[in-house]
């Protein structure tokens, strides 16, 4: 009998009334706003009302460097949360909201998978409570105000060639990467070249994810830089009198969304910042609420530990003031084999037969990446737990190889079968995480806020990525000098680079050494609160593949959605 699809499993879920999920978390009815039958918005007042509740152990889920195969971080996050329930512990999960671009494109949804899912998965993956659309509207309002300012005489002196604020949409559409606006008669606006990014790449999204409250959000939006004058002075959303209206458009989106897993573990779903040019983490406000709602708060960071976890530690935790108690590193047999460099893997195509054959030596050949990511967690004073996300095609000898590597590094390790067995399959992992979280920690940031921008970049490049040095283009050097002159030097760093390698070269697998990080450009997300050096070609508007998921999504004769994954 074939294993059921994620959608079939989700349809069979026995959901509790969402009011019961909230009550189990200790959330009072006064802070809850129903959104249909299965979702609630949680008012930010909840964090203050729960202030006297015991603080949960704070657990981050990260991974080795991802391959086209995927490592299953979200599924592991959900499975771990369910696993704690089998140990008699109360866990709350905090994850990002999926973007509809990937959902309708090649990646699929982000509700987890198998018997470790957030439900209803259709609702989670398609619109949810409209937060993505609110971010899109707030972002594009500022874009329209920029163009209107140009049309009305450009009192602030914006240099038309130095405008950095583009438009966004929550779809994959390569045709919008570069566009010309203002074509037609003079009444239709100033003609200039611009473009679209996906909503997840919006600085508004990043600001929403890092804010601590409504007043703080307005301050962040006010600081957004839309471009520069010819003399290099920044022009902000506040100068365009737009920050207030943007905040109003986000008044509901700032509230986290409460859902549940297949096993009725509570899930706070909030924000979805891009993992390449932003933090790739769910919101600070969701964590400030969830940290008072049980024994464990489990959250996930995008991509590998060199990216999502590093940003979680040095950007998100810097803002929230929270210190993690443990970190999970998800690893799979097939991904470590892929890091050996012996196999050619193409997303959407059948896996090479040799990859699936029993060969623990291939696991050892790709283990350098796992070792380095364990080091990256420890670099911040956090205890790592290696989670072997087990697949039916794995062999016991290959799990043993991963265990040998992890234990040689002094890390705890557990095999988890949450995909096929739900929370019951994650109890070994939950036990290992509980042990790690009970150990004393000395959480530390990688660099102080007052350090110069170049010093911060160098710390990430050499200590986290394993680079020998950093090189800067003349443009990048000028930009860094300008940012420090304009008072942006205290901001943390969010390096924009490939997620397919610890290095800046997607072709370099494992844990490359002897290379230099090339910084070709540096941009400032002043509103969100970070500076991002660009090290490679970063796509902020994905395209669709030859067979998008949208072609398979439809309704059946009973009016049920089909084809969603």
As annotated, the binding site includes: 67-74
Beta strand residue intervals within 262-381, DSSP E: 266-269, 296-300, 326-331
Number of H helices, E strands in the chain: 22, 25
d(Cα 69, Cα 334) in Å, to the nearest integer?
Answer: 8
d(Cα 351, Cα 137) in Å, to the nearest integer?
Answer: 41
Strand partners, 32: 42
> DSSP characters for 115-172?
TEEEESHHHHHTTTTSHHHHHHHHHHHHHHHHHHHHHTT-TT-EEEEEE---EEESS-
Q: Is there a cis peptide before residue 120, judged by omega within 30 degrees of 0?
A: yes
Cβ atoms of 33 and 41 closer than 8 Å: yes
Spatial neighbors of 272 by CB under 8 A, at least 6 apart, are: 96, 97, 98, 99, 132, 200, 205, 209, 282
Share in percent of the chain as helix, strand, coil (round to 5): 40, 20, 45
Binding site residues for ATP, as ranges? 67-74
In degrees and rounded to multiples of 5, residue 419 shows phi and psi of -60, -45
115: nearest Cα among 564, 430, 425, 413 = 425
């Amino acid at each position: 009998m074939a294993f059921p699809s994620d959608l079939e499993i989700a349809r069979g879920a026995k959901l509790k009334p969402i009011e019961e999920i909230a009550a189990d978390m200790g959330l009072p009815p006064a802070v809850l706003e129903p959104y249909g039958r299965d979702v609630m918005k949680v008012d930010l007042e909840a964090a203050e009302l729960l202030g006297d509740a015991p603080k949960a152990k704070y657990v981050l889920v990260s991974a080795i460097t991802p391959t086209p195969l995927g490592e299953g971080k979200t599924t592991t996050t959900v499975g771990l949360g369910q696993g704690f329930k089998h140990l008699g512990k109360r866990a709350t999960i905090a994850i990002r909201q999926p973007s509809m671009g990937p959902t309708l494109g090649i990646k699929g949804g982000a509700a987890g998978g198998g018997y470790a899912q957030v439900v209803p998965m259709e609702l989670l993956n398609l619109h949810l409570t409209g937060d993505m659309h609110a971010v899109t509207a707030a972002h594009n309002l500022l874009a329209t105000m920029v163009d209107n300012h140009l049309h009305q005489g450009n009192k602030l002196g914006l240099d038309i060639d130095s405008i950095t604020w583009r438009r966004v949409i929550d779809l994959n559409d390569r045709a919008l990467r570069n566009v010309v606006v203002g074509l037609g008669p003079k009444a239709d606006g100033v003609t200039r070249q611009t473009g679209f990014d996906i909503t997840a790449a919006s600085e508004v999204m990043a600001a929403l994810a890092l804010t601590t409250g409504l007043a703080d959000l307005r301050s962040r939006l006010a600081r957004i830089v839309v471009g520069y004058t010819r003399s290099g002075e920044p022009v902000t959303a506040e100068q365009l009198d737009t920050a207030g209206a943007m905040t109003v458009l986000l008044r509901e989106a700032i509230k986290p969304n409460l859902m549940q897993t297949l096993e009725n573990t509570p899930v706070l779903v909030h924000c979805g910042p891009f993992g390449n040019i932003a933090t790739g983490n769910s919101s600070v406000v969701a964590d400030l609420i969830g940290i008072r709602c049980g024994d464990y708060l489990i959250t996930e960071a995008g991509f590998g530990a060199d990216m999502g976890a590093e940003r979680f530690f040095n950007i998100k935790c810097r803002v929230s003031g929270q210190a993690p108690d443990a970190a999970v590193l998800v690893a799979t047999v097939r991904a470590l084999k892929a890091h050996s460099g012996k196999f050619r893997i193409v997303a959407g195509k059948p896996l090479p037969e040799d990859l699936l054959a029993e060969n623990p030596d291939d696991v050892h050949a790709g283990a350098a990446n796992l070792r380095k990511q364990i080091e990256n967690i420890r670099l911040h004073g956090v205890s790592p737990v290696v989670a072997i996300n087990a697949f039916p095609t794995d062999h016991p000898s290959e799990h043993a190889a991963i265990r040998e590597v992890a234990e040689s590094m002094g890390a705890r390790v557990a095999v988890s079968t949450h995909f096929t067995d739900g929370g019951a399959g994650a109890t070994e992992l939950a036990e290992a995480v509980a042990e790690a979280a009970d150990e004393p920690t000395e959480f530390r940031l990688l660099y102080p806020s007052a350090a110069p921008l170049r010093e911060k970049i160098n710390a990430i490049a050499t200590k986290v990525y394993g680079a020998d040095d950093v090189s800067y283009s003349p443009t990048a050097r000028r930009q860094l000098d300008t940012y420090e002159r304009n008072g942006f030097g205290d901001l943390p760093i969010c390096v924009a680079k490939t997620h397919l390698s610890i290095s800046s070269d997607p072709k370099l697998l494992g844990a490359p050494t002897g290379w230099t990080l090339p910084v070709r450009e540096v941009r400032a997300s002043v509103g969100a609160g970070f500076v991002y050096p660009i090290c490679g070609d970063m796509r902020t508007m994905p395209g669709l593949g030859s067979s998008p998921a949208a072609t398979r999504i439809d309704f059946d004769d009973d009016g049920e959605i089909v084809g969603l994954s």
